[in-house]
Every structure is written in structure tokens, then in C-alpha cells.
Amino acid sequence: MKPIFSIPAFQLRDVLKGDSEDILSTILNEAPDIIYVADLQTRSIVYINARVEEILGLREDEIYKKGFDFFPDLVHPDDYLKRMDQMSSLANQTNGEMIEIEARMQVKDGSFHWFRIGERIFNRTTDGQPEQIIGIATDIHKQKVADEELKKMAREIFNKNRQLVSINADLESFNRIATKEFIETLQTIYTALEFITIKEGEKNSHSDHANIRRAQSYVQKLRLMTYDVTAYLKLNQLSPPSIPVDLNSALNHALCSLPANGIEMCLRSASLPIIKGDPMLLSFLFKNLLENAVKFKKEGQGLEVKIHCFKADEINFHSPALKDTPYHIISVRDNGIGFEQEESERIFKLFYRIDTRKKHGGTGVGLAVCKKIMELHGGFIEAESKPGEGATFTCFFPEEDENFKDR
């Protein structure tokens, strides 16, 4: 690209020779900092740029009249000794090193701003003594205030984290002890009810017997909920190992661990990939999804479950997804009773159960566990359904290592 205009070198030298002082003065006055030259012998100001009036509210003639001592008069009392030490160090300096301090000075509106003040020897006498110095004062108040706010926030976060660690330790201890006591108490209640049923069976009416069995069923439900909640809380303490896991093996293990309840399942699955994660948790993920399909199958109709899998280079249209990250997408679809789509987010909350499904039992923990397992693997899970048309649960696993290949 050609310059808009050009000046021959010899003409440029003539221009600078004639107007160099004006050019230098213009440059210095346009600088954002206060720039000055002081004479240490006479304690006078040799030069100061026009920025001093804009920042400190002092006219140049005032400063030239007062001399070099104008700076200490503006410095905050708490920073005065720091400024004196800087000037003393400068007077004894033997090299050309810049000596800097951070100090507060009174500005135009009367408040104090933080400045970074740097000075160095500019000229020396014939016997090598410092004669003139050049200084630059930069207003760093906004940066300093921001840094202090960050330090304050860091201290608050540190204290909050320390409190959370203490609270978590207390909760963990309480949960461990309370869970043990709770389960033992429930077992005692169940046994006592069973004793009443056996020993007092002849004296109890049919309604009394039914009420006792109903009470026992609620005790069993509380025990199951306690086990499920304990398992869920333990997930928060896990850091899953990142090892290669064959999801086909994890699925087979889940199938083998399903309780035998007389329900036949027709399962069709695509070939699943190898991903990085925890084999036990991933098997537990499939187990919960399959148990959910069994629990909510249609009456009088065989249960069918289809598992699909594909890979997407990126799924940036999903808000929880990482940008520019490939994902393994695995969907588990059943032909069960389904649910309203508006429930698709609430069903992953702990203890949440859709009212119409109370007859199907459960504690409302299984899908919350699925969500937690996906989060522990850096992914997420979504649900899609319509009443009477089954449900599809889709798991999104990020592929973090680009050298890690699919099966």
C-alpha cells in the first residue's frame, strides 16, 4: 500500500531541525501520563507536560514556581515515607535503573488516586553526581481498585470454601450416622410389625392385618428411599476415573443386573462406542434407564427398547454443550406409557414423580442419578416423550481426546 503522502528524508530532517521542540512538546502533552524533568541540585522543575493540570488540577506556572517539592505535598500522608525513600534511593543511584513506587496523590477533584511513579537519572554533573531526573506518574487508580475488589472477592471465596468444606464434612458425618440409625430403626419397626402379625394374628381382624401389611410396605419404601438417597449423595464425592470403557460391555452388565420380575424385554442396540469414564457408573446409568422402561411399560403389551448411537462433530445448538466439541449421542427409546413433554426437565429432579405414575412405585431418585452420572462424565441427558408413545432418553458424551477413536 502506498502512503497517502511522503516527505523525502532530507526534507524531513529539515522539518525536525526547525520544529523539533514543538513536535516533542506536542507528543509529550498528548501522552496520558504526567511527564516531568527535575533538577536535583536546585530542586526546580525543568519541564512538565500539560497533563498535570488535567489530572492534578495544578497550572504549569504554579509548579514551576513551587519546584520539585510539589510532589511530596500532594502525596497521601500514609504514603509520604514511601515517596521520601524513593527520592533518597534515586539520589544515591549509580546506574540508570528506573525506581518505581505506588502511592496515592491528591487529584483535581480533591480525592486521592493511586499512581505508579517512576523516576530515573536523566543527567549527571561532570563529577558523576545526579543532576537531573525524568519522571512519569501514571494514574492506576481504576486498576488498583479493581485489584483490591478481586482480592476481597478471593478472600470471601476462600472463607466461603472453607466454611463449605467444614459444612460438607459435618453433613457427611451426619449422613453416615443418621442413615445407619434410620435404617436400623426402620428394620426394628418392620420386625415389630411382623411379630404382631405372627403372635397376634388370631386376635387381629382382617382390616387390622391389612393395615399392618400396609405399614410394613411403607417401611420398606422408606428403607429403599434411604438406600437410594445414600447412593445419590455418594455420587457427589466421586471423581470418576477417565479410562476406556466399552459401552457394549456396560450395557450387558446392566442387563445381567436387572431384577427378575417376569417382564420380558425385547432389546435392540446399535454398536456402542468406547468412551472415557467409570465402567461401574456407566453400567449403573444403563441399568436405571432400563429399569425406568420396565417400570413404565404399557399393560398388556410387550416391552421394546431400542438403543441408537451416532457421533456429531459439534452440537452447538444445545445450550449445555461445549463449543466445537465432538459428542457421542446415545438414545434409549422405549414403547411405554410416556409422559407430557413439559415434564421432561422436572423428571430429573431428586424425588420428583409425575402424579399419574404413583401406582408404578419408585422413589424418584433413579433419573436424578442418571443426570448426576452424566454430569460426572462432562455430559448431559435429555428426555423426549408423548403420552402413550413411549419415551426417549438421550445421553450426550463429549469426546475430549481427538486421538481416541470409536469402535
Q: How do the pLDDT tens digits run along the chain, 407 residues long?
A: 444 334 344 443 444 444 566 777 777 878 889 998 888 888 888 888 888 888 998 888 888 888 877 777 788 999 988 888 888 887 777 777 889 999 999 999 999 999 999 989 888 888 878 888 889 999 999 999 999 899 999 988 988 888 887 776 766 666 667 677 777 888 888 888 888 777 766 677 777 778 888 887 878 777 777 776 777 666 766 666 678 999 999 999 999 888 776 678 899 999 999 999 888 899 999 999 998 898 888 888 889 999 999 988 877 667 788 888 899 999 999 998 988 888 888 888 877 776 544 555 566 778 888 998 998 898 999 999 999 889 999 999 998 654 444 43
113 dihedral zone (left: phi>0; alpha: psi -120 to 50; beta): beta
Per the CB < 8 A criterion, the answer to whether 209 and 197 are in contact is yes
Handedness of CA 319, 321, 325, 327 (dihedral sign): negative
Whether residue 394 contacts residue 310, with contact meaning beta carbons closer than 8 Å, is answered with no
Would you state the pLDDT for residue 247? 95
Q: In the prediction, which pLDDT does 359 show?
A: 56
**What is the homologous superfamily of the domain 23-139 according to CATH?**
PAS domain (3.30.450.20)
Q: pLDDT value at position 333?
A: 95
Looking at 3.30.565.10, 2.40.110.10, 1.10.10.60, 3.30.70.3150, the CATH number of the domain 242-407 comes to 3.30.565.10
Domain boundaries, the chain: 23-139, 144-237, 242-407
Q: Hey, what's the cell of 394?
A: 438421550
Quote the cell numbers at residue 145.
481498585
Tell me the one-letter amino acid at 85. Answer: D
What angle is formed at CA 376 by the lines to CA 352 and CA 282, rounded to 5 degrees?
Answer: 85
Given a contact cutoff of 8 angstroms between Cβ atoms, the answer to whether 270 and 305 are in contact is: no
Compute the distance between CA of residue 369 and CA of residue 288 in angstroms, rounded to an integer: 8
Cβ burial, residue 113 (10 Å; 0-12/13-18/19+): buried
What pLDDT does residue 345 have? Answer: 87
Residue (of 229, 392, 398) closest to 327 by Cα position = 398
Instruction: Supply the pTM of this predicted model.
Output: 0.53
Q: How many CB atoms lie within 10 A of CB 139?
A: 19
Q: d(Cα 251, Cα 66) in Å, to the nearest integer?
A: 86
* 37, 130 Cβ separation under 8 angstroms: no
DSSP 3-state assignment of 130?
strand
User: Residue 231: in which H helix or E strand, if any?
Assistant: helix 206-235
Widest CA span of the chain, in angstroms?
124
What is the spatial distance between Cα 120 and Cα 123, in angstroms, rounded to a whole number?
Answer: 9
364/309 Cα distance (integer angstroms): 27
Q: Which residue has the cell 488516586?
A: 113
> Quick check: 396 and 285 in contact, CB under 8 A?
no
In whole angstroms, what is the distance from residue 384 CA to residue 334 CA? 11
Is residue 302 within 8 Å of 272, Cβ to Cβ? no
Helix (H, G, I), strand (E, B) or coil at 289: helix
> How many CB atoms are located within 10 Å of the residue 361 CB?
11
Q: Closest Cα to residue 303, out of 333, 245, 264?
A: 264
Host H or E run for residue 151: helix 141-199
- Which residues fall within 8 angstroms of residue 67, CB to CB, at 6 or more apart? 42, 43, 44, 45
Are residues 313 and 326 in contact, defined by beta-carbon separation less than 8 angstroms?
yes
Residue type, 117: I
